[in-house]
Structure 1
Amino acid sequence: MTSDSFSTVRAATVLLVDDVPENLDLLIDTLRGAGHEIRVAESGERALKQLPLVKPELILLDVMLPGLSGFETCRRIKADAQWRDVPVIFVTALSDVAEKVRGFEAGGVDYLTKPFHPQEVLARVTAHLQLAALRRELARKNAELQEEITLRLEAERQLHQSLDRAVLVATREGQIVFHSRPASQLLARFFPDTAPERLPGPLLAWVNRGGSRPPEVLPELRARLFAEPGTAESFVLLLEDLTWQPKLERLLALGLTPREAEVLYWFVEGKGAPEIAVIVGVSHNTIRKHAQSVLEKLGVENRTAAVRIALEHLGRAS
């Protein structure tokens, strides 16, 4: 690596941990000459105390220190999650392989052997600063990817939920680009003369009325617009069939609460508890509690018996 390569590396804060002035002078001159900001600690204890103040991006740590050894200092640095990823390069006059292994086991990433050579110091420091920067960038991208995955899973969950409702997406010109099965069923029932891929005229006119539009498109059909359509934009509609409201009122006569009557109505329609939870927008456990309350109020032991009673009040054959 050339000296020009060193000059292009982003300046970093480097903590030097050494008690030998001659070593410090050479390291300081070499690293400051490359644009790095230098902080000094003369013992392992002082280095540990300085970490929160200095916030180093790389540490040069002498093995032989007064008091706490370099190996133990490194172990304590790595034991703190805040500094675990800061690269530590050991500085030593020893060339013994066993000592170097101890350093790697303590958490060091490299060694500088005395006497120092400025070019080697810069090469090793630069390499590990670049590796640390790459690890941070990889961690950032992984976090972004995880966030994207989470958002996609949530979008899929929302889409899955919406498929149990009458949802459609259409352009301002009335072209339907997506519709759930319940939406297509409602359109076919209320607007049988309109092509399946076109938004019915009354519904398109309702959309184009703007903010003054009433919630009911027809006496028995309510719509909700999620965003005002702009030029060449699509919009989302949620349709609601109001014909079931009178049926709900009949079920209230059984002494049920509105929510319990709604749960019983959907049982009559063949929906299970998970589906009902999605439709009414509450948890599965909440639906189970309502269902249990329905059984208790009707004096029956199972859903089949409850549905039979509901059908009698709705005037339908079992």
Structure 2
Amino acid sequence: MPAPASVLVVDDTPANIGVLLEALGDSGYEVLVAESGQSALAQLEHSVPDLILLDVMMPGLDGFETCARLKRHPKWRTIPVLFMTAVDEPEQKVRAFTAGAVDYIVKPFFEQEVLARVQTHLELLTLRRNLEDELALRIDAENQLAKSLDRAVVITDMDNEVVFTTRLAESLLHRHCADYGIVGKLPASLSRADCGLHLRRFTEPGRDDLHFFVLEEKAPSPNPSALLQLGLTAREAEVLWWIAQGKSNPDIATILGAGVRTIHKHVENIFRKLGCETRAAAAVTAQDMLRPS
């Protein structure tokens, strides 16, 4: 069951806070409270709400400056801010929207109007996030397609810096070379006898600015393709394979060259398709499929 949406109420009037706490709480929202603009900004360092109801007229840091500051912060700028004020003048409204507000509520407010506006802006926020996730998945799929060569190819420059890898090469390097990705160069462990990879080099006469390598496993091991039988997409199979290796979502994002939110979305899809609720359960399912018969 999804967690309730959280709303931060910023107001220096206890009576207003009490009314909003009751109305929002009864409607199922998690309500956070700050009694000044400064305390609101401090609270955002520890807990980021889904929406902010912000009073305009407050001592010290007023609503306009508070909104302007949070809109300059990369982690807070997308939070919808609804201003609350007793001043119903066009100039104030323009100033509020210029500061970054998405709506403007005039005091004394009608509780049902506040709830309706909060619900509308939270629904818009959800739609925007879903669109962002879908776009990220589409971009990830395009990147996957662009690197979908079926050979484990690595290209380095004359300083041995890795400039290109196919998806298969990236997977093999992470699987067999603990030192891969530490300095951005072709890992030194490839030259060790106990490395599970063969490294074949191809050269072009008269050209030494780029070096072309093909990797091959000495003893091929189970790979993500075995997980396609679970009804997953190729990318989901890759993500599940790394979950089975004990990797976290940020680690998987780094390995696959994707955004962390994109990996979160793939994991959600994997859980839904497998009927699992935890990473451990998904990993066990994957390991059963990968176990040699």
Normalising by structure 2, we get a TM-score of 0.52
Give the counterpart of 2:107 among 114, 137, 140. Answer: 114
User: Which residue of the partner structure matches residue 129 of structure 1?
Assistant: 122
Q: Are 1:78 and 2:78 an aligned pair?
A: no
Q: Are 1:150 and 2:143 an aligned pair?
A: yes
How far does residue 38 in structure 1 lie from its aligned partner after superposition? 0.9
User: Which residue of the partner structure matches residue 54 of structure 1?
Assistant: 47
Question: Which residues of 2 match residues 29-40 of structure 1 at below 5 A?
Answer: 29-40=22-33
How far does residue 277 in structure 1 lie from its aligned partner after superposition? 5.7
Q: For 2:94, what is the secondary structure of its paired residue?
A: helix
Q: 2:98 and 2:70 mapped to 1: Cα distance?
A: 13
Normalising by structure 1, we get a TM-score of 0.48
Larger Rg: 1
How far does residue 53 in structure 1 lie from its aligned partner after superposition? 2.2
Q: CA deviation digits over 1:10-63, x for unaligned, max 9?
A: 721111100111211111111011011111111100000011223211100000
Q: Are 1:11 and 2:10 an aligned pair?
A: no
Q: Percent identity?
A: 45
Q: 2:207 and 2:74 mapped to 1: Cα distance?
A: 45
Question: Any unmatched runs of 5+ in structure 1?
Answer: 1-8, 162-257, 283-318
Q: 1:13 and 1:81 mapped to 2: Cα distance?
A: 19
Q: 2:44 and 2:53 mapped to 1: Cα distance?
A: 13
Q: Which has the higher helix share?
A: 1
Q: 1:110 and 1:98 mapped to 2: Cα distance?
A: 14
Q: 1:155 and 1:28 mapped to 2: Cα distance?
A: 53
Q: 2:22 and 2:135 mapped to 1: Cα distance?
A: 37
Q: For 2:101, what is the secondary structure of its paired residue?
A: coil
Q: For 1:53, what is the secondary structure of its paired residue?
A: coil
Question: Any unmatched runs of 5+ in structure 2?
Answer: 154-199, 216-293
Give the counterpart of 1:140 among 128, 133, 145. Answer: 133
Distance 1:143-1:58 versus aligned 2 partners, 3 A rule: same
Distance 1:133-1:141 versus aligned 2 partners, 3 A rule: same
Distance 1:57-1:50 versus aligned 2 partners, 3 A rule: same
Give the 4+ runs in structure 1 shifted more than 3 A. Answer: none
Q: For 1:155, what is the secondary structure of its paired residue?
A: coil
Q: For 1:40, what is the secondary structure of its paired residue?
A: strand
How far does residue 102 in structure 1 lie from its aligned partner after superposition? 0.7
Q: Are 1:63 and 2:56 an aligned pair?
A: yes
The answer on whether the counterparts of 1:13 and 1:56 sit within 8 Å (CA) in structure 2 is yes
Q: For 1:68, what is the secondary structure of its paired residue?
A: coil
Q: 1:111 and 1:10 mapped to 2: Cα distance?
A: 26
User: Which residue of the partner structure matches residue 205 of structure 1?
Assistant: none
Q: 1:12 and 1:155 mapped to 2: Cα distance?
A: 39
Q: 1:54 and 1:277 mapped to 2: Cα distance?
A: 48
The answer on whether the counterparts of 1:13 and 1:57 sit within 8 Å (CA) in structure 2 is yes
How far does residue 115 in structure 1 lie from its aligned partner after superposition? 1.1
Give the counterpart of 1:98 among 91, 99, 110. Answer: 91
The answer on whether the counterparts of 1:15 and 1:56 sit within 8 Å (CA) in structure 2 is yes
User: Which residue of the partner structure matches residue 21 of structure 1?
Assistant: 14
